Amino acid sequence: MRVLAAMSGGVDSAVAAARAVAAGYDVTGVHLALARNPQTYRTGARGCCTLEDSRDARRAADVIGIPFYVWDMADRFHADVVDDFVAEYAAGRTPNPCLRCNEKIKFAAVLDRAVALGFDAVVTGHHARLGPDGLLRRSVDVAKDQSYVLAVLTREQLDRSIFPLGDSTKAEVRAEAARRGLAVADKPDSHDICFIADGDTRGFLAQRLGEAPGDVVDALTGGVVGSHSGAYQYTVGQRRGLHLDRPAPDGRPRYVLSITPKTNTVTVGPAEALEVAQVRATRPVWTGGDRPAAPIECEVQLRAHGDVVPATVELTADGLRADLRRPARGVAAGQAIVAYRPDPAGDVVLGSATITG
């Protein structure tokens, strides 16, 4: 079986490629060049997709003993991830660029090209599991589990995916890398957004969207309590950086409750006003079995590192609705809602959708 190992230059993808070789697959490594100008992307411990990552991936491939190539996907990445990121913020939503990268780049563009070149599957270093039944499950390492950002994959994509690390903790992966002589064994994990070099998301968006002054309004009084230079600088649930002119009458902190691009208004209010009991979403992808014809009881995760909430989920004519049995706070449009079924072998991903409100 010929497989393509996506090698980011980190320890996870290197060990995943090595395990694929040990499992008897015919493995070829590929690194994705995603930056039009690599100097504008993050480097060091907080980066990914940089020139140093490409070199680390090549060295790992040499140690493992597999062919290695670099694929230039910078234009596709810019259109499907970077431009999408900016457009989502402009529309008052809070996107997850890593989720979009998995969906559009690693498991669409890469997999499509791999199949066209005669490969049978793509191997990645994601911490998630695919059992003999083909169902996507959480990793045994809950702290590193990445099933949330993989839940957007279709059944066809999962059928051509291999995740060798799902049964290991991150500590075990690093120890194995050291035993195999991989120099990336102690390389820090990447964090934050790879295409924002200095980590200043507000500044990055301001350069592309420009200043757009507007009002910050108190939800309880309807009064203007501050101003902003661009509603895209805010996300639902945000508390810090509001710079309000007037404190709340009761002295309690205010949070961002909603963002309305049409009126360029940011609405703030007390923490309890963030609570929602129902979530609606669009673009559902259902991979954990037959699409349910009736409401099902499951658990849902509303953010990449958010709490799991019991819910009743129903697929509707225009998407998905989840009635939460425990109110959730800070649910932002643009994020994903992922439905899980508790299972002794590991929680099963049933499906996902994009939150609209």
Q: Which residues are catalytic?
A: 101, 194
Mind giving me the DSSP string for 256-283? Answer: EEEEETTTTEEEEE-GGGG-EEEEEEEE
307 annotated to bind ligand? no
32 annotated to bind ligand? yes
217 annotated to bind ligand? no
- The Cα-based distances of 356 to 128, 173, 259 in angstroms read 26, 37, 12
Q: What is the 8-class DSSP label of residue 188?
A: P
For tokens 């199949």, the residue is 115
User: Which token pair is 261?
Assistant: 């691009």
Mind giving me the DSSP string for 101-126? Answer: HIIIIIIIIHHHHHHHTT--EEE---
Gap between the Cα atoms of 7 and 214, Å rounded:
44
CB-based contact 155:289 (threshold 8 Å): no
Question: Of 77, 124, 126, 111, which is closest to residue 97 (Cα–Cα)?
Answer: 77
125 annotated to bind ligand? yes
13 annotated to bind ligand? yes
User: Which token pair is 99?
Assistant: 């989720």
Binding residues, as ranges, are 6-13, 32, 125
Binding residues for ATP, as ranges, are 6-13, 32, 125
